[in-house]
Amino acid sequence: MGRPPLPIGTYGKIRAYETASGWRATTKFRDFDGTTRPVERSGKSKAAAERNLKQALTERTRSSGAALTGETRFRDVAEQWFRAFKALADAGTRSPGSVDTYRSILDRHVLPGLGAYRLREATVPRVDVFLEALRRTTGTATAKTARSVVSGVLGLAVRHGALSTNPTRDTARLEGSRKKGPRALTRAERTRFLALLESDQNAVRWDLPDLTRFMMATGVRIGEALAVFWSDVDVELGTVAVDYTVTRVNGVGLVRKSTKSEAGERTLPLPSWAVVMLKRRFAATDHPDGPVFPDGLGGLRDPSNTRRNIRNARGFDEFAWVTSHVFRKTAATILDEANLSARLVADQLGHSRPSMTQDVYLGRKTVNRQAADALESAFDESGGQGDERV
């Protein structure tokens, strides 16, 4: 019975011999086309020749396509996975914000914890222990993001045949503390909150009253609201196209990119009080080709800075719990209380669910007018339009 062939992408025993000009190291490498070929390198000493040969074998492995085996270090696969993920972001199919988040999680947590392992050593128990320790020290949210990163890396190893299964799938669920139910502003609270903003000179300077109205009129995310340009608004039809979001990319700055998913691209009908507000703003703007809610120079506004402005304006009393996402929850609650279907609410918010059947079989783009009609009642009359300000 003949000797079994070398596994693809591996080499056999290294032999070295002295020559007239130094040393030569040689071995056999089984390439990714299945052919075993001799590889050799020279050096001034035996150690140098062997070192040069190993370097050549490493480069040969990297340049030969599916270069992953059970002996490959986790950190090497992680970098390969991250390059592929970044390429998808550059092509517009992944969020630039996710690139920054995953890079940070890799560098701060995943690589220090798992980077030195070889793929065959990344077992379910080892990954499980790592994730649970991370949950205890940094919190559930960070651990869940790290789990996504680890799963992506080991999934790449599976696709390249270095692992038979992805160990991350069999790790324990990461359970945090019991989540509080979603809280939205009541009708009376909405009126008082807008009055609070209107009476705060800083909040007015930060353009928070109208931004808050717009977010509660649409249920959009803060990045989506700040990405709306005047060209997206049709005041005659009373609609706004929500196709973009604003995010900050390291080394680039603020960018306006497409929404997270196809479901996120939607055209929303507006309640009449929001149309009045937008008409007033358009008449006063110096940047009719720019964002509806610009920064002080008429350009894109930073969502993180705007969130901080909201935190500063809300104070530490009655509305200390309010964040920009509460406006989104408030819009959803209004629609739910108006007995709109879950599908219509999901359409308004740009969610791809509530059910796969509805996603696949119901065509939709412009949301039903019922959504805008329901949002007409967002405020008490006393907190409504007044002098054309809603």
pLDDT at 74 (0 to 100): 95
The pLDDT assigned to 360 comes to: 29
How is residue 281 annotated by DSSP? H
For 187-383, CATH gives 1.10.443.10
The span from the CA of 196 to the CA of 310, in Å, is 11
The 8 Å CB, 24+ separation contacts for 89-95 are 92/257, 92/258, 95/247, 95/257, 95/260
- Portions of the chain given CATH number 1.10.443.10: 187-383
Residue 31 — very low, low, confident or very high, per pLDDT cuts 50/70/90? confident
Strand arrangement of the beta sheet that strand 15-19 belongs to:
15-19, 22-30, 36-43
Q: Is the pLDDT of residue 183 over 70?
A: yes
Predicted local confidence at residue 356, as pLDDT: 30
Q: Where in the chain is the domain with CATH 1.10.150.130?
A: 74-170
The yes-or-no verdict on residue 376 having pLDDT over 90 is no
Closest by alpha carbon to 67, among 52, 75, 79, 77?
77
> What is the topology classification, in CATH, of domain 74-170?
DNA polymerase; domain 1 (1.10.150)
The pLDDT mean for the chain works out to: 85
Q: For residue range 256-298, list pLDDT tens digits in order.
A: 888 756 666 889 999 999 999 999 999 999 999 999 999 989 9
Q: To 10 degrees, the CA torsion angle through 121, 125, 130, 132?
A: 170
Lowest mean pLDDT among 70-84, 183-197, 248-262, 304-318: 248-262
One-letter amino acid at 129 equals V
